[in-house]
Copies of this chain bind each other. A is one copy, B any other.
Amino acid sequence: MSLEQQPVKEHRRTRQRAAVDEVLEETEDFISAQDLHAILRSRGMSVGLATVYRTLQTLADNGDVDVLHTAGGEAAYRRCAREGHHHHLVCRSCKATVEVAGPAVERWTSSVAKEHGYTDVAHTLEIFGTCPRCAQG
């Protein structure tokens, strides 16, 4: 067995990371690296695109933000309120997100996996739909 410690990669406090953090903090919905970078630029904050990518990647690795892969194949990030494992109900058009927990689903996935002898199990689950606001207004 290999006991893996959490990879605390974020050691140093830099203005770039603070900037990314700030945007994440005030952004309610999932946002892509590119979009976050655009926001920073529009605010006159100069942060390299690569740095934005790296920072988000690290935050995701450390579990500080959730990652979602959109239909278009791009990664979107979000700092969620809920702490433990959970999933998302996301509006296809405006990205409005609801955090949802489904203990039954978690149990089901592990039982299915175990049933077939699969180990080291993980799963991805996202629910997409049209939110009430976008549905009609």
**A23 and B135 alpha carbons, distance in the complex (Å):** 42
Copies held by the complex: 2
User: What class of interface size applies to chain A in its complex with B?
Assistant: 20 to 34
A121 contacts which of B98, B119, B127 (Cβ < 8 Å)? Answer: B127
A9 to chain B, nearest CB (A): 19
Given A112-B127, A126-B124, A127-B112; A132-B105 close (CB under 8 Å): no
Q: Answer yes or no: A35 CB below 8 A from chain B CBs.
A: no
- 11 sample A-B contacts, Cβ–Cβ < 8 Å, listed by A number: A100-B112, A102-B108, A105-B105, A116-B131, A118-B130, A121-B127, A121-B129, A122-B129, A123-B125, A124-B128, A125-B125
